[in-house]
Each structure stands twice: as structure tokens, then as C-alpha cells.
Amino acid sequence: MHSSEPAPSRESSPRSLPPGFYPLRALAALRELIKNPDDTRHVFTIVESLSGRAPLRLLASRAQILPILRDRAALERMPEGSLGHAYLAFVDRERIDADGLVQASVDGETGALVRGADLEYVRDRLRDTHDLWHAVSGYQGDLYGETALLAFSTVQTLNPGLVLIVLTALLRARDPQLYRLVFGGLASGARAEWLPPVEWESLLPLPLEEVRRRLRVAHAPNYAPVRSADLRMTGELAPA
């Protein structure tokens, strides 16, 4: 593991850093994320900088789910009440699509870390299935829902970058509702099956409730969503 970071140099190789822990890179990205919580690319930078080599143990298969999630017509043909339909409902409600996270992860890359096929596959798989975790857990895509799902994911992946993001959100919000959601997310993540290696491709046509039972994922409690636009209106968040 690497705990120290070389001084920045314009002449250093853009891929000179091996996978490891780079807290200064993570903190710089965290500062930017605090300024604009909607800028998802900084999340990827934080997670990447604090992942170490842990993602290698998530490697199970090399199935590609992104083409399936991009195929809206195929998802719409799945049965009513299926996970596929729940996924579409989530992305429609949030006005996003499968390529949005891909672009955010590309924009968030600094090119500083050495990559390998295994690391890239695991990273991409977790990125591409993130919104399926939303659909199964029931957490919305607002600031509180994202934070609660990151708490859930912290238990599942043991990534310290996620811990950093969640703790920062708790310290900034100081909202009992967010505390309850985060602690609920941690508990739910601990009870659930290990989701990173799940074969989501075979689960998409199944009823959502059956998928939840199989994976032992509890439905998120009802809560009042908090959007960044709301915080900007109240002055709690600086204008973008």
C-alpha cells in the first residue's frame, strides 16, 4: 500500500502512481464536492484515490451490463413490477441514464493511477450497477438518498473514500433525518448479501420484491428528499 504522495510535477508520467491510498488527492476532490454536491465526477476521484487494491477481491466474472441498461426497449418489455421496470422508473424520475455515470467517471479521472484490466473491470462494474442498487434499496437520487446508499455501499465494499464522503455529509448537514438514513443504510448493507459480484443480468426480469428477498435488501424508509437546488434556495449551499 502507498501512504505517501509525490509532489505534483507537470513532467511526471500521468500514469505514474500505482493503486494505493492518496489522501491528498481525495481531500482536494472532497473540497470540490462540498462546493457542488451534484458534481459526481469528484466522487469517483475520491473513491479511486482511497481504494488501494481492495477492488481486486470483487472480481468474479466479466459480464457486461452497460449494454443491457442502455437498451430501454428491452427493459420496457420486461414484466410489470420487475427490477428492470424499477430501474427505468428510477432513472426517469432522476432524469438520468446509464451513460451519465460513465461520463462522470471519465470526467473524474485524473490519469494519475496505473490501471489494469482487473481494476478497470471491477470499477466499471460497480459504477454501472450503482443505479440498480438505488432501485433495489429504494433510496432516491437526492443528496440524502445518495448519502444513505453510500453508507450502504461502505459496508459492502469497505472503501474508505465512501466513509470520507458520508462523514463529511453528516458533519455538514447535522440533520437527524440524515443520521437515521445513514445508520439505516449501514445496517441494511450489513444484512444484505454481498452485492458486488451479483449477476444483475439474470435478476432484471424478476419481480422487484423477489430480488429484494433474494439479496436480503430492506426497502428504504420514507423520508423527505433534499435536493441541492433546495439548499441553494435557502442559502445553505453556494450557487453553482
60-98 residue pLDDT tens: 567 889 999 999 999 999 999 999 999 999 999 999 998
Q: Tell me, what's the pLDDT at 26?
A: 59
Is pLDDT of 5 > 90? no
Has residue 6 been placed in a domain?
Answer: no
pLDDT value of position 211: 98
- How is residue 205 annotated by DSSP? T
Residue 117 covered by a domain: yes
Angle at 202 (CA atoms; ends 197, 205), nearest 5 degrees: 135
Q: What's the pLDDT at 28? A: 73
C-alpha cell at position 161? 473514500
191: in domain: yes
Cβ atoms 59, 76 nearer than 8 A: no
Among 91-100, 165-174, 213-222, the range of highest mean pLDDT: 213-222
Query: What is the rounded distance in angstroms from the CA atom of residue 167 to the CA atom of residue 81?
Result: 35
Assigned domain for 123 exists = yes
CB of 109 within 8 A of CB of 120?
no
Average pLDDT value for residue range 151-165: 89
Average pLDDT, integer, range 26-35? 66
Number of domains in the chain: 1
| Model pLDDT, residue 12 | 34
Range of the domain at 156: 23-234
Position 3 scores a pLDDT of: 41
CA distance 223 to 206: 26
Distance CA 14, CA 158 (A): 27
Q: In terms of pLDDT, which residue wins out, 142 or 107?
A: 142
Mean of per-residue pLDDT scores for the chain: 80
Which residue has better confidence, 18 or 149? Answer: 149
Say if CB 164 and CB 29 are below 8 A apart: no
Residue 15 pLDDT level (bands cut at 50, 70, 90): very low
Report yes or no on 7 lying in a domain.
no
Q: What's the confidence (pLDDT) of residue 21?
A: 45
Is position 13 within any domain? no
Report yes or no on 217 lying in a domain: yes
Note whether 148 and 136 are within 8 A (CB): no
Q: What pLDDT sits at residue 30?
A: 63
Residue 200's closest CA among 94, 117, 97, 125? 125
pTM for the complete prediction?
0.73
The answer as to whether 15 is a domain residue is no
- In the structure, what pLDDT confidence band is assigned to residue 17 with cuts at 50, 70 and 90? very low
Q: What is the pLDDT at residue 24?
A: 61
DSSP for residue 102: H
